[in-house]
Amino acid sequence: MPEKQAKGFGFGEKDQMFELGQLKQTPEAPKKKSLLLDIAESRAAKILLKQRGGDIRLTGNPIIDTFKRLNQFLIDHSKVKTKEKAIFFRLLSVMLNAGLPLVRSLNTLGVQMEKTPKLSNTLFEMGKAIEGGSSLSEAMQSYPEIFQDAEVGVVKAGEASGQLNNTLKSLANDVEKAASIAGKVKGALIYPTVILSLLVVAIFLMMILVVPQITKLFTQTGNELPLPTRILIFMSEFSVQYWPVLLGVAVLFVIGFGWYRTTRSGRFVLDWLKLHAPIFGDLFRKAALSKFARGFANLMSSGVPIIKSIEIVSHSIGNEVYKRRLVLTSEDMKRGIPMAENLSNSKLFPKMLVNMVEVGEQTAQLENVMEKVADFYDEEIDTMVNSLSKIMEPLILVVIGVTVGGLVAAIMLPIMQLTDLSGTF
């Protein structure tokens, strides 16, 4: 009779592999299995096996393994929030200023930031890369989905100048300000987006659930229905008959839109539309200018040359329209055209900003001037967000009122007709 085998943990050494899952079901097996589990889970045993050229293999439940792989997939494809990056830069600056080695600081922060798995894993990997001879900026450059080009450039300049501690502290401040601005812009968009989305869903449900019941009542009268009511009934019948098609089109639109925004041309078109959108266009424009001015000032103050600063910040500005314009600006400056003159040829940069850049070039204080420009646009954004919140509420109420009023009118007009007819008899 074949001996049964059970799945479990295992470890091996060179060509010989001991499998806990392959322990024979003998009276001694439970003791052996317990002992081997203790050994397998012992860090000392793992180190010893690695020194002797062995390895450790864990074989477990396939369902658990599947969930682990799914969890790892979600971690790999998650995003690190800007606020979390700012915390990382600030804590790293504090640790380095206290005299801790760079690798030890990264490993410590990796443990401390375990609630952000992607950033935590990245910090451990960066520590390994630095142990292998890479610099901090080179290690950061390997993770472009987390660290922007401007951040890498600032750190690289700080390493070259020997002022990495102060550079990281300054970088943390700038990243926090950028996160604050981005949060305010998103906050201004969330309220109207949510309200209008709920309104669309409510209308759709009303078309397929409520209106068909009312339609039966109206058609039984045999009277000619008013135009608004006929339109409402047509929309309802179309929604009821073709709702799977409408749902499929909506899903395809979302998927297609998500793909289109990942293409270069798609990003350019969408960013152009954002800059020219009614009400919110000016907000997006000022947010981009603030990010450009602050990133440029930070790079310049860290010792990065002016043309290189423009090239780096163009890839970190987050707007394809401004990116292309700044790339052209850097190329023109290589041919000797001053920055202010170059920016004045584009409508993307207001006259005030161009004049400030010109003053900065003439006084050799460009980084300080651009820092003030960034602060100015930050204040402008605060003012706009507060104003928009006051404007959007009445606008949304008007939209809701017109929509609900139209539906009520379409339903009440036939009822009023019936009342008038009954009054004539």
Query: Are both 298 and 155 inside the same structural domain?
Result: no
Query: Are both 403 and 348 inside the same structural domain?
Result: yes
Evaluate whether residue 77 is within a structural domain. no
Evaluate whether residue 234 is within a structural domain. yes
Query: Are both 283 and 392 inside the same structural domain?
Result: yes
**Per-residue pLDDT tens digits of the chain, which is 425 residues long:** 444 444 444 444 333 333 434 434 444 444 444 444 444 444 444 444 444 455 555 455 677 666 666 666 666 666 788 888 889 999 999 999 888 899 999 999 988 888 888 888 899 999 999 999 999 999 999 998 888 888 888 898 888 878 888 889 888 888 888 888 888 888 888 888 888 889 888 888 888 888 888 877 777 666 777 888 888 888 888 888 888 898 899 999 999 999 998 898 999 999 999 999 988 899 999 999 999 999 899 888 888 899 999 998 988 888 999 999 999 999 999 999 999 999 998 999 999 999 999 999 999 899 999 999 999 999 999 888 888 878 888 888 898 888 888 888 888 887 777 666 555 44
Query: Are both 204 and 157 inside the same structural domain?
Result: no
Query: Are both 165 and 217 inside the same structural domain?
Result: no
Please name the residue ranges forming H helices in 277-365.
281-301, 306-314, 320-334, 339-344, 351-363
Evaluate whether residue 256 is within a structural domain. yes
Both structure tokens of 197: 């989305």
Question: Dihedral of CA 78/82/87/89: which sign?
Answer: positive
Buried b (16+ CB within 10 A) or exposed e, 156-181: bbbbeeeebbebbbbbbebbbbbbbb
Query: Are both 202 and 114 inside the same structural domain?
Result: no
Domain final residue pick, 178, 199, 232: 178
Evaluate whether residue 70 is within a structural domain. no
Evaluate whether residue 172 is within a structural domain. yes
* Continuous segment of H or E residues that includes residue 56: strand 55-58
Domain final residue pick, 117, 149, 178: 178
Range of the domain at 212: 181-425
- Long-range (24+ apart) CB contacts under 8 A made by 14-23 are 14/52, 14/53, 14/54, 17/57, 19/59, 20/59, 21/59
Total tally of structural domains belonging to the chain: 3
Query: Are both 129 and 37 inside the same structural domain?
Result: no
Evaluate whether residue 1 is within a structural domain. no
Evaluate whether residue 71 is within a structural domain. no
Residue pair 133/127 in contact by the 8 Å Cβ criterion: no
Is residue 17 helix, strand or coil? strand
Evaluate whether residue 149 is within a structural domain. yes
